Amino acid sequence: MIRVSWYKRLMPDKSYTLGIRWIDPKTGQEVRRMVGIRTDPKPGKKALEKAIDRAKAEVERQSEQLNREATADVPVQNLELRQAATMFVAWCDTRGANGLTRSAEGTTANKARHIDSLIHFCHSYHWHLPARFALSYLNRNMLALWRDDLEKRGYGAATVNTMLASASSWLAWAVDYGHVKFNPCSGLLRLRTIAKRADGPLADPENMRQELGRILERLAPGRFRAAAIFLACTGLRQGELRGLKVRDVDVEEAVLQVPAGRESTKRHARTIPLCRQATEAARELLDLAGDEPSDWLLPSVRDPSRPMTSQLSKAFKRAGATPHAFRRFFQTALETVGTPKNVVCDLLAHSPGRVRAAYTPASNIEAARPWIEAFSRWLGDT
């Protein structure tokens, strides 16, 4: 029987990598290796001991799974992978995942894409097997191989962990409905994510006004510079800005109506009062959009009948910024002028704001307007 053990490796940056390896007792050769834990550079004694304990616990779980498979504790089911995926997506559409009355369309679509990626990997990895094989074929080793393959293909740690969560919800559903006896994704080591929120452009509260001015100077006058000012003064997400239409902006009343989107982060509509700088930028964008046969606020340069996509990100990248950096700038600036947290959450559609938005269709303009004016005075003519 295959033996499972853990290993520890010192990396060039003085961090440690811990993982699991499978060894054939007959030949003594390593059958497969799985990297699961990464520590910080020069970790302390307690942090390293904690990582080692996690690796040992994973060895025990992997050994238990091999024992169950060796004793035929996992029954072979007749439910095929793609058939099970179709049933799970249909269940999400009607019942919703995690007990919700209905799953968000974007969330269900994402789960379906993640599960399809796993099924495609299974078929490509074991191309010699029949085209149809049962759901019980999936085990923790196969899921770990899929995870490692995603990492090698350049997916970020957060994206890989999200895809693993989709696979885990699918297999948990299969357990609840009796298609398999246990969820092999449960207890699988996730990739370690590194927070990078404090780095990047417009991240320093003391110098972000000057940095914003330098970024705007690098942008040529016109659509991209106006879009940058509009993002910095409204805190919109990049997808929300692309989805805006001409009718959503009222420069006379200085109000922006952000429509609801399909994704969970854009599920609820909200209303944002516009400051003087945002109103001027919106007026310039409307003038430029008026020359195009389209109702998008930011129509594509190549095809005006469609909204702008990657052109905006590329222009900001050349100027040394990202679309989300302007959203972070807006939040930090509101906190600098003393805006209450509930108003900031409403304007940015963060979690508390989304909860209230479920009961009120728009943000409280009367409460937000004075703070937007204070933000405008703080920003000045940057």
The 10s digit of each residue's pLDDT in 175-214 is 877 788 788 887 788 887 544 444 567 777 778 889 999 9
Return the CATH architecture of domain 208-379.
Orthogonal Bundle (1.10)
Instruction: List CB contacts of 19: < 8 A, sequence separation 6 or more.
Output: 6, 7, 9, 33, 34, 35, 36, 37, 55
pLDDT confidence of residue 228? 93
Q: What is the mean pLDDT of the chain?
A: 78
Nearest to 239 by CA among 330, 348, 324: 324
120-155: pLDDT as tens digits: 888 777 655 555 567 777 788 888 889 888 988 888
Is residue 71 predicted with pLDDT exceeding 60?
Answer: no
CATH architecture type of domain 76-194:
Orthogonal Bundle (1.10)
Domain 76-194 shares a fold with domain 208-379: no
User: Domain segments of the chain: what residues?
Assistant: 1-73, 76-194, 208-379
- Tell me the per-residue pLDDT of 33-57, one tens digit each, with 9 for 90 and over: 666 677 888 888 888 888 888 888 8
Least confidently predicted of 21-25, 30-34, 300-304: 30-34
* pLDDT at res. 276: 93
Q: Does the pTM of the predicted model rise above 0.75?
A: no
Question: Nearest CA to 184 among 121, 122, 139?
Answer: 139
Residues 6+ away with beta carbon under 8 Å from 197:
203, 328
340 vs 354 pLDDT, higher one: 340
Closest CA to 19 of 30, 31, 29, 9: 9
| Closest alpha carbon to 118 in 73, 156, 160 | 160
List the strands of the sheet with 3-10, edge to edge. 3-10, 16-23, 30-38
Band of the pLDDT at 94, cuts 50, 70, 90? low
